[in-house]
Amino acid sequence: MDRARIEASRLIGTSPVLTVSAVLLAALLTLHRLVPDLPGRPGSLLETFLPWLGVSVPLLVGAAVLRRSAVASFAVLLPVAAWLALFGALPLPGAGGAPGAPGAPGTDDGRALVAVQHNVADDNPDPAGTARALAAADADLIALEELTPAALPSYEAVLAAGYPDHTVHGTVGLWSRYPLVDVRPVDIRPTGVGPEWNRGLRATARTPRGDVAVYVAHLPSLRIGAHGFGSARRDESAVRLGAAVAAEPSRRVLLLGDLNGTVDDRGLAPLTSRLTAPGSGFAFSWPARFPLARIDQVLARAATVTRVWSLPRTGSDHLPVAARVTL
């Protein structure tokens, strides 16, 4: 046993190392906004995967126990408290989701609607199956991105029965149980992108709980490479979409979209600062095989997204995300 402890101590380092590591981790969690956005955007990269810093906490706790260091044990409490302050409420049950939807306990209180957001992938081998899976969620609104001319008839045919109103602009679309009026495109093109790039629309959904301005958007993709986080075009598109939301005359706004970023990512702040994020649920949506981040978002103004959850995998590289929105 002593030999095992000595070997463990050698691997995990000394008490001062543990203490410094715990303090640095707590600082990254609480002061992530102070990480400078140098070339390569390290700040945005950190914020994209910020919840995963919590994986280090059990390792530090175990190391402190093995070291039997009071100072290190106290220091480890700092990142524990920081992580819980940021994300501790997310795993807790919210106000419920769609009745009968996977992973969504609770019942409708008469003031809520359920929305589904899904990047269906332009290379999806089974659009009809994907449409059936989305219809099974029994949502009030379904927003889709990466629609192709070849796949669109499949979505229209499957969703027609439950969603009598729908609109499509470019590669984004919205299906609704309720009438859609005042439908128009939203220009979120970054500089240098031609008019054939259409990834934004806006419509008013006339729900029994009142009118809601619904935006559907697909921000440009970003790349992680040798030069860091390539997000300039996405960030510019977020500025344009944020300006459109700010100018929206309707009081209630619901944004459904693949934003190619998390709500913590500062690059999306010109948009996310104008809307509220879900109150509970991690709902990681990408990549579908092993989800690491929720880049598919349901955000609101003058309404509350009380819960968000992931739906079962479809033929896309994203998971569908469902949300309960209280008006």
**103 lies in some domain:** no
**133 lies in some domain:** yes
Mark whether 41 and 138 lie in a shared domain: no
Mark whether 145 and 54 lie in a shared domain: no
**309 lies in some domain:** yes
pLDDT in tens, 29-76: 888 777 787 677 777 777 778 888 888 888 887 777 777 777 777 788
The CATH number for 127's domain is: 3.60.10.10
**102 lies in some domain:** no
Q: Facing residues of 112 across strands?
A: 326
Place of tokens 């795993």: 91
CA-to-CA separations, 3 to 7, 17, 25, 61, 68, in angstroms, rounded = 6, 21, 29, 20, 15
Mark whether 150 and 41 lie in a shared domain: no
Q: Which of 98-102, 108-112, 245-249, 252-256 is least confident?
A: 98-102
Question: Of 262, 279, 281, 280, which is closest to residue 271 (Cα–Cα)?
Answer: 262
What percent of the chain shows pLDDT beyond 70?
A: 87
**107 lies in some domain:** no
Mark whether 46 and 192 lie in a shared domain: no
Mark whether 41 and 133 lie in a shared domain: no
Q: What is the pLDDT of residue 131?
A: 98
User: What span, in angstroms and rounded, lies between the C-alpha atoms of 143 and 258?
Assistant: 10
**297 lies in some domain:** yes
**179 lies in some domain:** yes
Mark whether 32 and 81 lie in a shared domain: yes
**104 lies in some domain:** no
The separation between CA 47 and the C-alpha centre of its own chain, rounded to angstroms, equals 12
CA-to-CA separations, 144 to 1, 3, 181, 210, 316, in angstroms, rounded = 57, 58, 18, 23, 11
The answer to whether residue 205 scores a pLDDT higher than 90 is: yes
Mark whether 167 and 57 lie in a shared domain: no
Task: Report residue 222's pLDDT band, with 50, 70 and 90 as the boundaries.
Answer: confident
Mark whether 149 and 278 lie in a shared domain: yes
Tokens linked to 51: 């919840």
User: What span, in angstroms and rounded, lies between the C-alpha atoms of 210 and 110?
Assistant: 12
Mark whether 50 and 145 lie in a shared domain: no
Tokens linked to 130: 């994907």
How many domains does one find in the chain?
Answer: 2
Mark whether 166 and 236 lie in a shared domain: yes
Mark which of 70, 87, 104 sits at the end of a domain: 87
**pTM greater than the 0.85 cutoff:** no
Mark whether 67 and 31 lie in a shared domain: yes
Question: Of 112, 121, 140, which is closest to residue 307 (Cα–Cα)?
Answer: 112
Mark whether 210 and 289 lie in a shared domain: yes
Average pLDDT over residues 187-212: 96
Provide the domain limits for residue 277: 112-326
